[in-house]
Amino acid sequence: MTPFNKSIFFLGRPKLSRLIIAFCVLIVLLAAACAEKEEDEDDELADVNGPQPAKELVVQALAAQVFISWEIPTKEDSLFNRDIRGFMITRTETEADAADPSRTQRYVVGDVINLQTVVAIIEAEPTKDDQIVITWTDEDVQKGATYHYKIYSYDEVPNYSEPFFLEATPGSLIEPRTNHAQVVLDDGRIFLCGGLGYGRELDSAEIFDPDAGTFEMLDDTLNRPRTDHTATLLKDGRVLIVGGFDEVTNEDEEDDEDEDADVDEYVETLSSAEIFDPDTGTFTLIDGKMSVGRGHHTAMLLPDGTVLIAGGNDGVNAYNSAEIFDPTDLSFTVVVDLMAKGRFGHSMTSFYQDTRFRIFIAGGSTNQESLDSATFFNFESQDFGRYDPSVDDEENALDFSRTNHAAALTPDGVIALIGGFTGPLTAGGRIGDIELLDTTTGDFSEMTPLDAPRSDSCCALLDDGSILVAGGIGNGYEVLTSTELVDPSADSVTEGPSMNFARFKAQTSVLDDGRILATGGNGSADPFAPHPLSTAEIYSPSSNSWTVVPSP
């Protein structure tokens, strides 16, 4: 049958054709009704739930301004975002306040909610899936004062979202950060890079000038955001930045136009490295990579200008491997010998035994519990072992298992291991015990413990040979402001002055004049709600006191 005759055949059955047309119309009407029903159901839902809070927050505090930017949650993120109408920002200058706004109450700038003052009402509505970024500037600020902000999204009712807590200290760190890396440059300035900000890993870096007492954000950024990485000053004055973690989004790239493409967010353990040049203020990603991605590792400059990178983990598994970076050809070489145990959260301290350069690697943890062992890296033979190589077993035993502890080498050749966390990672606790290694004899001993057990504290060696131990987390999961002064030569521990801010995972550096700079850190012991700090403060041994940078 020809096509023409086929048409005649179809048109010759008018009853059947009308039935087919009616059926098609019915399908269209049913589809429209279903869509309308879904819309009606959305509209009829009891509107008592607040929308999602702001996301992807960025906070920068300059000397006279605080900039806050964030993304509006989209309608695709949640059903309850369908009627977002805007954002409310509150601020307090005394302390973070847990009070929240009352549902259905509309606020205006200047209203007070317990300790908080409403400082901004910003109208903004989401689109279906486009990301819209909002920026707000607070110009009513003073240097050295710490401002606590809360950002709420609100809807038509209004219902208010859970708040997002922020803090900023104009004149201190420009960007809040914890788990960052920090190093003293050849000219005495302090270089800080990366770390964890508000809900995101950071690619920013800043430099503290002790003479001016100010922080300056670098124009260039890291090639990869990274946290729990290391930064090591090379012999030529440049800085090697290695490894760490970065949360990334993996999208199914097989079909960019496929709306159902899989999107997966995961934490990547980085094997990459980059070099910062202080002369140019720029970062260069190098071609050479480590054999594995690692974070929570340690790194140390060796006498020949190479860098030893040891241990760490991939987020779960602890590594017993190490590799050496050579700055002449920007390459990594795996150390053939392995540590007897994989470890992360350990300490690394270098010293000379007679004329031999050695590195003491102590404690740390597996993926389950803290370790009571220590090993030495021998630079000449490029291997790991005991202090006394004639002993058969490969590692020295410590009196206490410990991880996330502090460690320092005193002028008389004693390495002190201070505090830390001991036991299973899910059920252990903090200790104040101090263990000493006499590097001239290889003997271990104990001394008077800390008054307050703590882990994740920062420490620094003072000019008088004592060790300043500051902050950390206590056994009650409280973040500490207390400090203690440890003097191994006198077997004494004395109370030091309290810091102005409770912090752990902060970084400390010894300035050229002997003062101690502490930067950033985490102000919350809740692992699901970190609170990166923007504050910096300086300890002065002469006055035995801490001062916020800059002074209010």
CB-based contacts of 545-550 (< 8 A; 24+ apart in sequence): 545/497, 546/497, 546/498, 546/499, 546/500, 546/518, 547/500, 548/144, 548/169, 548/172, 548/500, 549/144, 549/171, 549/172, 549/208, 549/213, 549/215, 549/517, 550/143, 550/144, 550/171, 550/172, 550/213, 550/214
At 359-400, the pLDDT tens digits run 999 999 998 999 999 999 999 999 999 988 777 778 899 999
pLDDT at 177 over 90: yes
pLDDT at 24 over 50: no
pLDDT score of 55: 86
195, 248, 250, 316 from 265: Cα distances, Å: 19, 6, 6, 17
Distance CA 503, CA 522 (A): 5
At 416-432, the pLDDT tens digits run 999 999 999 999 999 99
Distance CA 84, CA 50 (A): 9
Distance CA 242, CA 230 (A): 5
pLDDT at 118 over 90: yes
pLDDT at 2 over 50: no
Of residues 409 and 74, more confidently modeled: 409
Label residue 290 left, alpha or beta by phi (over 0 means left) and psi (-120 to 50 means alpha): beta
122-126, 320-324, 452-456, 461-465: which range is least confident on average? 122-126
pLDDT score of 130: 72
pLDDT score of 229: 98
Asked if 224 contacts 246 with a C-beta cutoff of 8 angstroms, the reply is yes
Report which residue type is found at 345. Answer: G
Distance CA 308, CA 513 (A): 29
CA 399 to chain centre: 31
pLDDT at 264 over 80: no
pLDDT score of 112: 96
11-26 mean pLDDT: 43
Length of the chain (residues):
552
Asked if 159 contacts 102 with a C-beta cutoff of 8 angstroms, the reply is no
401-415 mean pLDDT: 97
Distance CA 311, CA 297 (A): 5
pLDDT score of 251: 52
DSSP state of 156: S
Distance CA 96, CA 374 (A): 42
Distance CA 242, CA 288 (A): 11
pLDDT, mean over the chain: 89
528-535 mean pLDDT: 92
pLDDT score of 32: 45
What does 15-33 look like in DSSP terms, one character per residue? HHHHHHHHHHHHHHHHHHH
Residue 37 DSSP SS3: helix
Q: Quick one: pLDDT band at residue 197, thresholds 50, 70, 90?
A: very high
CB-based contacts of 482-490 (< 8 A; 24+ apart in sequence): 482/452, 483/539, 484/450, 484/451, 484/452, 486/416, 486/418, 486/434, 486/447, 486/450, 488/410, 488/414, 488/416, 488/434, 488/436, 488/447, 489/410, 489/412, 489/414, 489/465
Helices and strands in the chain: count of H runs, count of E runs? 2, 39
Output the six-digit token pair for 422: 């001991």
Determine phi and psi for 351, rounding to 5 degrees: -160, 170
| Sign of the torsion angle spanned by Cα atoms 383, 388, 393, 397 | negative
Short-list 278, 318, 307, 317, CA closest to 189? 278
